[in-house]
Structures are given as C-alpha cells and as structure tokens.
Amino acid sequence: MEEKLPVNHSTKLFGNRVFQAIIISGLFLQIGIWVRNFAVLLFIMEKTNGDPFAVSLISVAEFAPIFIFSFIGGTFADRWRPKRTMVWCDILSAISVFAVLVTLILGSWHVVFFATLISAILSQFSQPSGMKLFKMHLPEEQMQVGMSVYQTVFAIFMVLGPILGTFAFQAFGINLSIA
C-alpha cells in the first residue's frame, strides 16, 4: 500500500499568485508609508525647531485615522470590491503625496499635515481589503499562515520603518523621501 506524504500548505501558499501580489503590494506600501511618515515627522521637527505642538499634530494626523477609520474601513472592505478598493486607495494616496511634494517645492509646507491625514485614512480602507482578498482567494487551510505572513510584514515595519524613514530623510531630504 502506498503511503501519502503530508501536503505542505505553506509551500502552496507562497506559490499562490494572489498571495504573492498582496504580500508584495503590502511590502511596498509599508516602505512608502514609513519612509513618508518619518521623513514628514523629521521635516516638521526641522521646520518648527522641534515645536511639540507641531510634532504632536503630525502624530495625530498619522495615527488618529487608525482609531477612527479602522471600523469604517473594515465595514466597507466587506461591501466594496476589495481589489478595486486597494487600487483606488493606493492611487488616491499617491496623488495626495504628490500634492504635498508640489506644495513643498512651491514653498508651502503646512499642507503636509492635511495630506498625511488623507493618506492615513485611505490606508484604513486598503488594508482590510487585502484581508478580504485573502479570504476570497486562499483555501481555508492556507488562510492562517497567509494572514500571519501579512501581519508579520506590518510588524517588521514597526521596527524597520523608522530606520528606513530616518535614513531616507537624512540621505535624500524631504522631496526625494516623499517622492
């Protein structure tokens, strides 16, 4: 009688095109978010000579949407088409970032607060859509590992993100860091 070898679900998972696309998208998204957030934070500190009020305002613009819009974003991720939601949120976020870049080049740096807020809100719609795509395209036995890897990408950037953002700002300045 022939013995069956156990199926390695994680090997199949990493070969799944949807999984690969979501993880790579999440990776680039996290790099962009953290480089932008830390570059903006350091820029605000530089522009205001470390004014605690300005620094706290930029922190509110970056993190308040997580608390305010996470429930709303999750609800709409269940109702909207997740792929389209992710793409449009990323496009709108990129437009807001380039609007900041243009205003920085023209000399008005106060718009950084507003654009950071808009981008952070949009990410609260994009991230739950990635989870929804997992649920739609991954078999049940791969779901837990897939979501763990996805969450691990976010956790890794909690450590690496500030390092990357600080490096980008110090090496390239605010304009290239935002771009």
pLDDT tens track, the chain, 179 positions:
555 545 555 568 778 888 888 888 888 888 888 888 888 889 889 988 989 998 888 888 888 887 787 777 777 777 788 778 878 877 887 787 787 788 777 777 777 777 778 877 877 777 777 777 777 878 888 888 888 888 898 899 989 999 999 999 999 988 888 87
SS3 content of the chain, % helix, strand, coil (to 5): 90, 0, 10
The DSSP call for residue 48 is T
Token pair listed for 26: 């999440």
pTM of full prediction above 0.85:
no
Give the SS3 label for residue 110. coil
Give the SS3 label for residue 63. helix
CA distance 78 to 60: 27
